[in-house]
Amino acid sequence: SKNLLEIKHLKKYFEIRKGFFGKNVRILKAVDDVSFSIKKGETFGLVGESGCGKTTAGRTILKLYEPTSGQIFYDGNDISKFSEKEMFPYKKKMQVIFQDPYASLDPRMTVGEILGEAIDVHHLYEGKARSDRIAELVELVGLKSDHINRYAHEFSGGQRQRIGIARALAVEPEFIVCDEPISALDVSIQAQIVNMLEEFQEKFGLTYLFISHDLSMVRHISHKVGVMYLGSLVEYAGVDEIFLNMLHPYTKALLSAAPIPDPDESKKSERIHLQGDVPSPLNPPSGCAFRNRCIYASKICSEEKPVLKDAGAGHMVACHLY
């Protein structure tokens, strides 16, 4: 199938002002030259520690932030410079599910009002069709019809995330950015939400950008996986390829840091543990941004920034070891 989304050299920089009257301007390169594509009906898992730029990347793709430069092709159209008016039809096609279902739903609104509001923005249904649609959405995400008139604050985290999913689905989108949709939830609820997202992908032909800090979690839902570090993609490949043949030292360390044990015990000896802290994105190291934490770092790593190279069959990696 063809690409629904293609990101080319996407950059999102923020100006950070400090000092008297904000005289000292520093540039935070939150997303620094990121390129990848997502095929229609597939999931791209974007993984990295907090502060690596993955959430900013997701928001920039949705045009919640204006890109600093680069291109965002949605169904072949470059939307990166579209005005708000030009973006309007795309805001229906492109939706988001937020990490925190507590913060992202207005507690003073009922479920019916939350879903109705989403439907009304795009004038999709009116009158009886509108209330039927709300009832349909509520049922779809496994809530009960008498939940429609209850307030968001009356629900548990898992139920709220179901409401968040129903809100995203209300406008019949094609593409959804799922920004850490399960990390604020109880472990017992996480699988339910992931299964639900997978079921809807199948049912409605949805395409996902699934953002997570947990590499083992994206394994279940993704077709392709990209790993981000300090604003750059350091590795990406098909999900099976990346788990069978992990190349970048950071990707290996991320998997080792995951709470879920690697079922393949034989790989234990290869495990690398993350040492040190993520450097400040305002002051990234020269050369490879991972070098202060990498056990393989050599002279060239401080001199030259490694670029993404094809290590075979489209497995891309940015590391001087390859």
Q: Interface residues with ligand SF4 (CB under 6 A)? A: 249, 288, 290-291, 294, 296-297, 301, 306, 319-321
- Residue 242 CB, shortest distance to ligand SF4, in Å, is 16
**Residue placing its CB nearer to ligand SF4 in the complex, 224 or 320:** 320
The owner of tokens 């409605």 is 204
**Residue placing its CB nearer to ligand SF4 in the complex, 162 or 320:** 320
**Residue placing its CB nearer to ligand SF4 in the complex, 140 or 294:** 294
Report which DSSP code applies to 292. G
**Residue placing its CB nearer to ligand SF4 in the complex, 54 or 320:** 320
Q: Which residues pair with 210 in a beta bridge?
A: 45, 178
**Residue placing its CB nearer to ligand SF4 in the complex, 26 or 309:** 309
d(CA 269, CA 162): 40
- Residue 295 CB, shortest distance to ligand SF4, in Å, is 8
Rg, Å, the chain Cα set:
21
d(CA 80, CA 10): 9
At residue 211, the 3 state secondary structure works out as strand
- Residue 277 CB, shortest distance to ligand SF4, in Å, is 16
- CB contact burial 103-116 (16+ within 10 A = b; e otherwise): ebbeeebbbbbbbb
- Residue 290 CB, shortest distance to ligand SF4, in Å, is 5
**Residue placing its CB nearer to ligand SF4 in the complex, 147 or 291:** 291
- Residue 250 CB, shortest distance to ligand SF4, in Å, is 6
Could you write out the DSSP letters of every residue in 24-69?
EEEEEEEEEEEEEEEETT-EEEEE--TTSSHHHHHHHHTTSS--SE
Q: Which residue stretches of the chain are H helix?
A: 54-61, 84-93, 111-121, 127-140, 157-169, 187-204, 215-221, 239-244, 249-257, 299-303
- Residue 281 CB, shortest distance to ligand SF4, in Å, is 16
